[in-house]
Amino acid sequence: MIEGKITSEDMRLLQEAKDRLSSNSSLKILAIVTSFKGYSSFEAMKKALLGDYRMLPNLTKYAIVTDSYWLRTVVSLLNYLVLKSELKAFCLSDHELAVKWLEL
C-alpha cells in the first residue's frame, strides 16, 4: 500500500520482494494507492522505475486501486504500451473487483 511520499528505503524493500518473486513466470500485482505525494528523492524514483522495468518480463496482470484520476489514467495508457501484460486501474471503492479481475 502506498501512502504519502515514496522513499529510497521503500523502494529497496519493494525491490527485495520483487527479486524474491522474479522466478515466478506469472506475476499478478495489486497496488493500493490511498495517497501519492511523489518521491522523496530522484534516487527513489529511479529505483522505482528500474524495479518495474526488471519485473516486466514476468508480469501478466497489474491492478492499481486508487482514487487518483491521473494515476488511473497513466495505468490505462501504459496498458497499450506494455504488450505482454494486462494493466487495469480501479477506484478504491472497487477493491474487491480488482482482486477478482486478478484472479481470472
Give this prediction's pTM.
0.73
User: 51-80 pLDDT, tens per residue?
Assistant: 666 677 788 899 999 998 988 998 999 889
Low-confidence stretches of the chain (pLDDT < 50) are none
Cell of 49: 522505475
Contact present, 6 and 35 (Cβ < 8 Å): no
The pLDDT, as a whole number, for residue 23 is: 66
The pLDDT, as a whole number, for residue 21 is: 66
The pLDDT, as a whole number, for residue 97 is: 97
Distance CA 63, CA 90 (A): 7
Give domain limits for the chain: 2-103
Residue 85 is classified by DSSP as: S
